Amino acid sequence: MYRFIRAVAVAVVFAVLAVVFASCSAMPKSQVDEKMETQQSRGKTTKNDFFRSLGDIEQDENLYSILKDSDVYSVDVVLYFYNPDTNKLEPEKRTINLQKTDQILNVVISQFLQGPKVKGLKHVISPKVKLQKVERYGNVVGVYLSKEFLESEDIAIARAALVNTILESQEAKYVKIYVEGRELTHNGKDDGQILGLLTKYPNEVEQIRSRELELTSQGDVKYIKREIYFQDHERRFLVPEIRDVPVSQGKYVEAIVGELIKGPVSENEGLYPTIPSGTQLMDVKFVEDADSSKGVELYFSKEFKLSFNKEANSETLMVGSLVYSLTDLPGVDWIRIYYQNENGEYVNTPVVSMGLNRRFDKDSLPFQLGKRIKVYFSDKDAMNLVPEYRIINRDSKDIVNEILNELIEGPSQEGHMAVIPSNISVGDIKAYVSGQTAFVNLPSKFNPSGLGSTGEIMALYAIVNSLTDPVNTDNVRQIQFLVDGKVTNEFGHMSLADPFVRNPELIKE
């Protein structure tokens, strides 16, 4: 009874909200859907291209206002610099204006590298440092810097200021720093301690130094956060899983391969093992080739071949998971693989057809990296949204539309219910992003009257929460729904006149 009352109450609230909005003029659909499909076929739907065609037709004033506002938007950011008087990292707040095409991470880090504007704060990074690249995948931000970073007065404080700046500005959890393409160690040298994925530092310098001392102190077991790569169900992509890896006596390679052999923590999150069941790592050898590059030779037990299952394993992804999990380590530019034959001798013949008699690095394997996305469906009682994971290409240029298509295809887990009407096919709902707004165009056949008030809430907020989930996108903050290209006031029991924002209260993890 409580659940029924709750559902009715939520529906009544949305119905009341719907009647308070003034009716709005309808923008003709002419050319809109055709233009959107053209942009879809090019791989990425953009507002700039899509709405260029609207200049010659009557435009809806509400939509025009929304679009105009989203071309340039302001963002408040916090940058961390050193205050010698307090011996702390202290925040400097800035408001920066972003164009719709700007990547906020690049702008924030570039502002940080320029140094402080507030009197009394001191820059802790060499002014010569150049930002080479920024990557955002899932909860991880990868920052690629030039070698001048190593000229910073204090690398530990410089690292802490950069990490705190990034994590203050983004809904990410981890930062990974590269210098000239190589993972940064605690002292910037190959013999330094491996840092792994970095989390927020304390602002007090003495506490930062204590954390560094703990990192470099000798102990039997250390824990580092690492990305361990597994395959998706369809064996198309390698996808990272973040976990705490226990490292004994500095044996990072053995520890990471051991985690790979264990497999992913939960297959319900879309990841599957790459190493055949029962395989053991028998030996590890660090070697240097004639070209002065450094690598590691891995020696596996016979199960590496004997337990290989063509229905579950992929040779390419098996090798690739080892390459991507290991080659960020200092002194590991590449790997070689050997396994025991039936006589106990180590060989590098193919497990099935892929030759192993060569060294492997990230440039030598023809496959793509994937990323997990999180999409929401209804629970069986239509009271909450429940997540499922899907895997898509990490380089996808049109994530919002891939998310919508996954929602249309429906859930795969027992007890989860579809939220999109069954008469809607993949590609019927289209989206494009401008600034912090995603515009979602619903077709008129998305008939709310058949959903009921609770069904409307589940359907619309499944879209909203999926598109605004920080696991999926780092810039979408609100959703503006259109119906056949029009800003519409009434949609069943709800109003679509204003943008929707994320509603975490509906989510049940």
Same-domain pairing of 237 and 159: no
Pair (357, 374) in one structural domain:
no
Is there a domain that residue 497 lies in?
yes
Q: Which residues contact 319 (CB under 8 A, 6 or more apart)?
A: 337, 354, 356, 360, 365
Pick the last residue of a domain from 329, 350, 366.
366
Query: Is 139 in the same domain as 244?
Result: no
Answer yes or no: do 152 and 273 share one domain.
no
46 DSSP assignment: B
Pair 311, 426 in one domain: no
Helix (H) or strand (E) holding 161: helix 155-169
User: How high is the pLDDT of residue 101?
Assistant: 52
Confirm whether 67 is domain-assigned.
Answer: no
Rounded to whole angstroms, the Cα distance separating 509 from 504 reads: 10
In a domain, 6, yes or no: no
From 318, 333, 366, give the residue that closes a domain. Answer: 366
Kindly tell me if the per-residue pLDDT of 454 is higher than 60.
yes
Give the separation between CA 146 and CA 180, rounded to whole angstroms.
5
Please give the pLDDT value at position 29.
37
Please report whether residue 35 resides in a domain.
Answer: yes
More confident residue, 363 or 171: 363
Q: Considering the domain boundaries, does residue 253 fall inside one?
A: yes
Considering the domain architecture, whether residues 234 and 287 belong to the same structural domain is answered as yes
Neighbours of 209 (CB within 10 A): 14
Computed on alpha carbons and rounded to an integer, the radius of gyration of the chain in Å comes to 26
pLDDT of amino acid 367:
65
Domain membership of residue 164 (yes or no) is yes
How far apart (Å, rounded) are the C-alpha atoms in residues 248 and 223? 9
Average pLDDT over residues 131-141: 87
Does the pLDDT of residue 152 top 90, yes or no?
A: yes
The per-residue DSSP string of 66-125 comes to HHHHHHEEEEEEEEEEEETTTTEEEEEEEEEEEETT--HHHHHHHHHHT---STT-B--S
Q: Tell me, what's the pLDDT at 310?
A: 82
Judgement on whether residues 455 and 404 belong to the same structural domain of the protein: yes
Say if pTM beats, i.e. exceeds, 0.85. Answer: no
Whether 15 is in a domain gets the answer no
Q: Which two tokens stand for residue 70?
A: 């989203």
Extended beta strands in 355-492, E state: 368-379, 385-393, 416-417, 430-434, 437-442, 478-483, 490-491
Count of domains for the chain = 3
pLDDT digits (tens, 9 = 90+) for 154-186: 999 999 999 999 998 766 889 999 999 889 999
Q: Which structural domain range is residue 83 located in?
A: 75-217
As given in the structure block, the two tokens for residue 457 are 């809430």
Burial 82-121 (b: 16+ CB within 10 A, else e): bbeeeebbbbbebebebebebebbebbbebbbeebeeeeb
pLDDT at 102: 56
Same domain, 358 and 266: yes
Residue 168 lies in a domain: yes
The residue ranking higher by pLDDT, 219 or 359, is: 359
pLDDT-derived band of residue 385, with 50, 70 and 90 as boundaries?
Answer: very high
**CB-based contacts of 189, cutoff 8 Å, min separation 6:** none
Q: Which residues contact 433 (CB under 8 A, 6 or more apart)?
A: 45, 46, 47, 400, 439, 473, 475, 476
Residue pair 422/414 in contact by the 8 Å Cβ criterion: no
Same domain, 114 and 189: yes
Say yes or no: 266 and 211 in one domain.
no
**Quick one: 203 and 182 in the same domain?**
yes
Q: Which residue has the higher pLDDT, 478 or 67?
A: 478
Bridge partners (DSSP) of residue 386 are 377
> What percent of the chain shows pLDDT beyond 90?
54
Q: Identify the pLDDT of residue 303.
A: 96
- Do 201 and 257 lie in a common domain? no
Task: From 193, 217, 241, give the residue that closes a domain.
Answer: 217
Per-residue pLDDT of 233-257, as tens digits, reads 888 899 999 999 999 888 999 999 9
